[in-house]
Structure 1
Amino acid sequence: MSLSFDLLRTFLAVYRSGSVTRAAELLTISQPSVTAQVKALEATLRRPLFDRLPRGMSPTPAAHQLARRIAAPLDNLEELVLGDLSGPAEAFGRAVHLGGPAELICERVLPSLAGMAAGGLQLRVTLGLPDGLLAALADGGLDLVVSSVRTRRGGLRVEPLWDEEFVLVAARSWARRLGAGGADLGSGQPAQGSEGEAELVRRAVERAPLVAYAENLPILRRYWRTVFGVRLTRSPTVVVPDLRGVAAAVAGGAGVSVLPRYLCTRELVTLHEPEIAPLNTLFLVSRAGAPHPAAAAVRDHLMEAARSWVV
């Protein structure tokens, strides 16, 4: 079989998505057709392009080399055709599938991408936890993932995106009640710096209910360990699997929590400002290799936009 545009286009879809199933969806053809075209291209080139895995397709060195050579020309041709035959909604080609934590996606990522959406970007968003989202990325179901963990999964490109700062917060009513124990919390001014002040704050908040993102208090436990130097062994009173819900519960007077500073509203009082604030690095993860132009444009835009996000 001679080398054709369709074979190369199908190869690039499988290469970028990492999945025959996902490539078939993107190309709107059947899975057997995708498999047959990949095999035909391998026969034409006389070399394997993918290792078949239980979940997905892993590119061989020959596939990486071929993708580098054909990605830009094919993308340019497809963009030229789509630009002539479609309206503004197709300006970026196919939709970009993006996953990440609900709070950051809603509060930072979506506002940053609003201009691109107005300019024709088609965006499909999946909210969830890192493990599931990264598995979907590796299987070709997503193009980009904002992750709170640095994955070691092969075939993925991981880039630091943004550092979020964690702060200990409560409603003003709780700050006044806790201040009765000796820490200067009732004024609404956070206690500053020293180990002695940190210990006063820790003893004060021991009397308050804890509001957490998850039953095992991952964010609070990290704060207690890094700022107070002790292990947190208490159980939460309220668990809300969305940090915006945690913030709302704390603002309503449910107790004390630790939140990213960007989620702290006027109704919340910062109880302590340690000399070194706990930071959590968020990562932008994509599949290794030549990304689709629309996904590459979103990646580049987010990397630039994150520089101006307020902590």
Structure 2
Amino acid sequence: MDLALLRTFVTVHRAGSFTRAAALLGLSQPAVTSQIRTLERQLGRPLFLRQARGVTPTTIGDELAHKAAPHLDALMEIAEAGLDEDSSVRTLHLAGPPEFTAERALPALTALSGQEGRSHALRVSFGNAEEVLEGLSAGHHDLAITTVRPRGPLLTATPLCDEEHVLVAGEPWAARLAPGRPRRRASLPLENLPVVEVHESLPFVSRYWAAVFDGRPVASGAVIVPDLRAVLSCVVSGAGLAVLPRYLCAAALERGDIVTLLDPAVPPLRTYFLAVRTGTLAMPHIARAHEWLLRTAAGWA
């Protein structure tokens, strides 16, 4: 069986469409279609069901993908690393949310490289959960950090750590909102108060309010900036209140730049997952990074 046909097939399976697979492979869509039809003729079975948007693998297609993909990935690893067994450089492609990846994952992985005393090339991409999982499925990344557990057999996810969320503000706002803070439970009047968030939908504030107050906030965002580190800077400068991961604002809390408004008995948590394509943990450089991140995360407060 032609390996080029298998590579095209696996790419289509991961991408979910001939058009996206063609872009990933640098081929035309007719070329991808022709290769898939050739493989289907060789096997005597259909591999995909064509739909209005993309394709869905048949049972035979799924079975072939699960068997072939790990071996093709291993061959690609050999091709990228070169045939020299003494080569110490392996490139790890990591994707995840910008703040968590920058503050947690990257320091851990660079420490691993220093501890082992050898070079590890690292390529990092930032994105939301949907983007990083799509890139992982398509073969662009080796590891993905995500707050969404992927479904299906093509990706394997392991819980990495839990992230505690805290409601914070600068001291002037705290004095007005919650005198005698922090309280375990309160109904803070948010109607006309400035909120700093990463999106107009107020995802962090809404999640916090649902968990702590069993309700929805009625405030609107005064400052919307798509990076939690920028949200923290705005809160420190007095722009309003925000919900932030504790790890990200721990130093600011310790310095007194911001304060915690509430101390709920059960703080809201969000779980991070470490995802890989099924079978790729057989590759040593991915397995080392995966194991190291899990081990390091056990000590994250």
TM-score normalized with structure 2 length: 0.72
- Name the SS for the 2:209 alignment partner: helix
For residue 93 of structure 2, the aligned residue among 92, 96, 100 is 96
Counterparts in 2 of 1:80 and 1:271: CA distance versus 1, 3 Å: closer
Whether 1:107 and 2:103 are equivalent positions in the alignment is: yes
Q: C-alpha distance in 1, partners of 2:13/2:173?
A: 55
Runs of at least 5 residues in structure 1 that lack an aligned partner in the other structure:
186-190
Q: Percent identity over the alignment?
A: 38
Determine which structure has more spread, i.e. the larger CA radius of gyration: 1
Please name the residue that 2:262 is paired with: 272
User: In the TM superposition, what whole-angstrom CA distance separates every residue of 1:187-219 from its partner, at most 9, and x where no partner exists?
Assistant: xxxx253xxxx33xx448778533222233232
Counterparts in 2 of 1:245 and 1:33: CA distance versus 1, 3 Å: same
- Name the SS for the 2:201 alignment partner: coil
Q: C-alpha distance in 1, partners of 2:20/2:156?
A: 19
Please name the residue that 1:126 is paired with: 126
Correspondence list, 1:1-311, <5 A: 3-21=1-19, 23-24=21-22, 30-80=28-78, 82-84=81-83, 88=87, 91-92=90-91, 96=93, 98=95, 100-114=96-110, 115=112, 119-127=119-127, 129-131=128-130, 145-149=144-148, 159-175=158-174, 177-178=175-176, 183-185=179-181, 191=182, 193=184, 198-199=185-186, 202-203=187-188, 209-264=194-249, 265-266=251-252, 267-284=257-274, 290=279, 293=283, 297=287, 300-301=290-291, 304-305=294-295, 307-308=297-298, 310-311=300-301
Q: C-alpha distance in 2, partners of 1:308/1:207?
A: 40
User: In the TM superposition, what whole-angstrom CA distance separates every residue of 1:64-93 from its partner, at most 9, and x where no partner exists?
Assistant: 33344444555555545553169958735x
Q: 1:111 is matched by which residue type in structure 2?
A: P
More deviation in 225-234 or 115-124? 115-124
CA contact (8 A) 1:96 1:295 kept: no
Counterparts in 2 of 1:139 and 1:4: CA distance versus 1, 3 Å: closer
Q: C-alpha distance in 2, partners of 1:28/1:231?
A: 47
Runs of at least 5 residues in structure 2 that lack an aligned partner in the other structure:
none
Counterparts in 2 of 1:4 and 1:291: CA distance versus 1, 3 Å: same
User: In the TM superposition, what whole-angstrom CA distance separates every residue of 1:97-154 from its partner, at most 9, and x where no partner exists?
Assistant: 63x4322222223333434697444524132x44555566667766665443456799
User: In the TM superposition, what whole-angstrom CA distance separates every residue of 1:272-293 from its partner, at most 9, and x where no partner exists?
Assistant: 2211111122344566x55595
Once the two structures are TM-superposed, the CA of residue 259 in structure 1 deviates from its matched residue by 0.8
Q: C-alpha distance in 2, partners of 1:57/1:32?
A: 15
RMSD between aligned residues? 4.1
- Name the SS for the 2:62 alignment partner: helix
CA contact (8 A) 2:109 2:293 kept: no
Q: C-alpha distance in 1, partners of 2:194/2:276?
A: 39
User: In the TM superposition, what whole-angstrom CA distance separates every residue of 1:37-88 from its partner, at most 9, and x where no partner exists?
Assistant: 3322221121122333444443332233334444455555554555316995
Q: 1:7 is matched by which residue type in structure 2?
A: L
Once the two structures are TM-superposed, the CA of residue 10 in structure 1 deviates from its matched residue by 3.5
Please name the residue that 1:188 is paired with: none
More deviation in 239-248 or 142-151? 142-151
Q: C-alpha distance in 1, partners of 2:66/2:155?
A: 17
Q: 2:212 is matched by which residue type in structure 1?
A: V
Q: C-alpha distance in 2, partners of 1:153/1:217?
A: 30
CA contact (8 A) 1:97 1:143 kept: yes
